[in-house]
Amino acid sequence: MLPLIPADLVRALGLVLIPAAWFSAGWPSAVLMFLVFGTQWLLRWLRGGSLLDWSGQIVLLAAGWFSVTGLYHRVFALDLVMHALVSALVAGLVACAAEHALRRRHMSVPAALHVTGRTLAWLGLAGATISLGVVWELAEWWGHVFVTEEIGVGYEDTISDLAVDTLGALVGGWLAVCAGKRL
């Protein structure tokens, strides 16, 4: 069993928000908050207690709860801001996963950056993150078609989401590469 750390209090909030989302907005919202909760635990596994863990949990909880409460429909550009923030967070998670894979192969991040170069590493992180953004947009479309029309999709929404996902991925990937140089 993992020892508890202070950041687990935020994870507990994520757990409580799953049934709250169900009662507030229905089971699709509860599923969304369950995905948020799972990602909160991924943050713990990869960087428990770090700044990435704390800030990532707050961004994830905000993004999920804004959806549950319908705030994205009431506040102009909030969806775009949150897409950029979550995409930057996902780039950090992809970098953490890559770091763990390198460590299993007994290679340090600075050594890997020396081999690949910072630019290629940055673009690789951003590309992987953007790919995950595309998967998210496909899941939104699927949810709209097969689950509920309340899940908002459309050409302009999808393109603008992907554009800010790209921006967030580039910024998050750059920050991860800069942090990797110091490891």
**3-state SS of the chain: helix, strand, coil percent to 5?**
85, 0, 15
Q: What is the full DSSP assignment across 4-47?
A: P-TTHHHHHHHHHHHHHHHHHH-HHHHHHHHHHHHHHHHHHHHH
Residue 158 has pLDDT above 90, yes or no: yes
- pLDDT for position 150: 85
| Cβ–Cβ under 8 Å, residues 102 and 116 | no
Q: How many CB atoms lie within 10 A of CB 170?
A: 21
**Helix, strand or coil, per DSSP, at residue 61:** helix
**Helix, strand or coil, per DSSP, at residue 136:** helix
90-126 pLDDT, tens digit each: 999 999 999 999 999 999 999 999 999 999 999 999 9
- pLDDT for position 181: 75
Distance CA 108, CA 66 (A): 38
**Helix, strand or coil, per DSSP, at residue 153:** coil
End-to-end CA distance of the chain: 28
21-69 pLDDT, tens digit each: 999 999 999 999 999 999 999 999 999 999 999 999 999 999 999 999 9
Q: Supply the DSSP symbol for 3.
A: P
- pLDDT for position 183: 60
| Burial letters 105-115, b for 16+ CB under 10 A, else e | eeeebeebbee
120-134 mean pLDDT = 97
Distances (CA, A) of 123 to 64, 119, 176, 177: 27, 6, 11, 10
Mean pLDDT for the chain overall? 95
147-176 mean pLDDT = 95
Q: Give the pLDDT band (50/70/90) at residue 2.
A: confident
Q: In the chain, what percentage of residues exceed pLDDT 90?
A: 93
Record the pTM.
Answer: 0.94
Tokens of 31: 């599923």
